[in-house]
Structure 1
Amino acid sequence: MFPVSAVTPAGTPADDSPGSADLELVLRAMRTLAGAMPPTGVELKTVGQRMSAHVRTPADVRFLGGCAVLHTGWKPAAVLVVDGRARLVDWAWAAGGAAWIDPALWVIWLIACGHSAAGAESLAALHPAWDKIPVAHIDAFARAQQRLWESIAQADPPGAWTHKVHAAAQAWAERRT
């Protein structure tokens, strides 16, 4: 399915499949993170810096800005369920940016785990930051994610897990057009 990293015996990767009880736990962790203050003394790249090669216009980078601490790596193996709580691990791609970005990135992983694009967006919409962003910004972000995952998948052999995530990002971008 997806690569597993940093899985400890104390936890299991979140189950992001439709109907899973873990979905609420992941969403709860995402909401908690949205209220976190950036750590002092730690410099985070911004989502705008990471996405600049995949957006169409400089204006598309500006709407990614914000002061939220973002995990950005919502693959199931990066969220461990431990004692009835979702714990975020694998912080390699932590970034600063707008709070709506984490639920938007989760949409892609939800689709890859079997949700429809509409169903995945319905779950993301449960995050308080989701309804504060103009639809055009989400549309542009979905298209940028499709381009990002296309470039990642092209570098991997057929059948690699990245192709599944690229297909999910493509399905989301198609829904947004």
Structure 2
Amino acid sequence: MMQRRRWEDLPTSVREAVQQQCGPVTAVDYATTGVNSAFAATLHTEDGLVFCKGTTDTTSAAHRTEVRVAPYLPAVAAPRLLWHTDESGWLLLGFEHVAGQHADLSPESPHIDLVVEALHILTEALTPCPPVEVPHLSDKLARVAPWRRLRQAPPKELEPWRDRFDEFIALEGVAIEAVRGDSLAHTDLNPLNILITDRAKIIDWAWAHRAAPWVDSAHLVIRLIASGHAPQDAEARAASLRGGSGSAPEKLTAFAVTVFGWWEWLRVKYPAPQRARLVEAASTWAAYRLSETRLR
């Protein structure tokens, strides 16, 4: 998590630029989650609350993606971007404030149905993909090629899988083709990126990609497993989304194996406390998918 700035630490010109957009700021509540913004807080203004986040890197791909994508997101399932401003080396975004809690994806949680409904709305609204410049998920997977990288220097945690590296690399190629599509996908369904009120709203579209319509439901499967669901139950909960939790079973298996490799490669290259749990969830799903595919 990058070092966060306080409101009074922002340059005077930056605070003035923000207040030109939202009016005088009377109080500030600082966000305690998130890793990509140097400033993140709820601003109290005379006209109400605004969630504001920003970065000192004005070329930040993540924040620029959010600016480009936001106009196309249905307001019922994602907060509206009210304004953005570039000033004195800062890019700041002002969003509709959502007074909700982060999603609980554990078994029996009532939040899950709300999340599935929000993703259904988003998939319907964002397929075909709006005319917005975002990277293709297939290109990203092809560029990273996680299993090819991992085979070059396998971590000890992958010892049980070493005799299957060639198979996984082949499945990686299948997944690269399988995720090609014309939908705008979120691709980062961390529960911290889902706010719950009487409905679910999906926030932080920094890693939006053009992909197949089923990709977000497949990502949801991994998050459900990480929250305590058995793989078959996680797939069943996500299957109500458009396109189900994948297309052909073999393609879904290829995707599961590739995401397992992706998270393991991230764990090795960019260690972070939360990665181990996601690797475990992704490997659990991949093992389940591999066994299911062999039984067909």
Tell me the equivalent position of 2:33: 4
Aligned identity (percent) is: 33
SS at match of 2:125: coil
Tell me the equivalent position of 2:200: 86
Q: Distance in 1 between matches of 2:140 and 2:125?
A: 21
Q: Distance in 2 between matches of 1:60 and 1:106?
A: 17
- 1:1-177 to structure 2, matched below 5 A, reads 4-5=33-34, 10-37=99-126, 38-40=129-131, 42-52=132-142, 53-54=145-146, 56-57=169-170, 58-82=173-197, 84-130=198-244, 133-157=247-271, 160-177=273-290
Per-residue Cα deviation, 1:66-103 (whole angstroms, up to 9, x for no partner): 11110111110101113x11111111111111111111
Instruction: Give yes or no for contact 1:7–1:13 (8 Å, CA) kept in 2.
Output: no
Distance 1:7 1:77, change over 3 A: farther
Instruction: Give yes or no for contact 1:54–1:148 (8 Å, CA) kept in 2.
Output: yes
Amino acid at match of 1:34: T
Per-residue Cα deviation, 1:104-140 (whole angstroms, up to 9, x for no partner): 0111111111111111111111213127710000000
Instruction: Give yes or no for contact 1:17–1:115 (8 Å, CA) kept in 2.
Output: yes
Tell me which of the two structures has the higher relative contact order, counting C-alpha pairs closer than 8 angstroms and 6 or more residues apart: 1
State TM-score, norm by structure 1. Answer: 0.88
Instruction: Give yes or no for contact 1:7–1:77 (8 Å, CA) kept in 2.
Output: no
Q: Distance in 2 between matches of 1:92 and 1:76?
A: 15
Instruction: Give yes or no for contact 1:7–1:80 (8 Å, CA) kept in 2.
Output: no
SS at match of 1:130: coil
Distance 1:131 1:113, change over 3 A: closer
How many positions carry a matched residue from both structures?
172
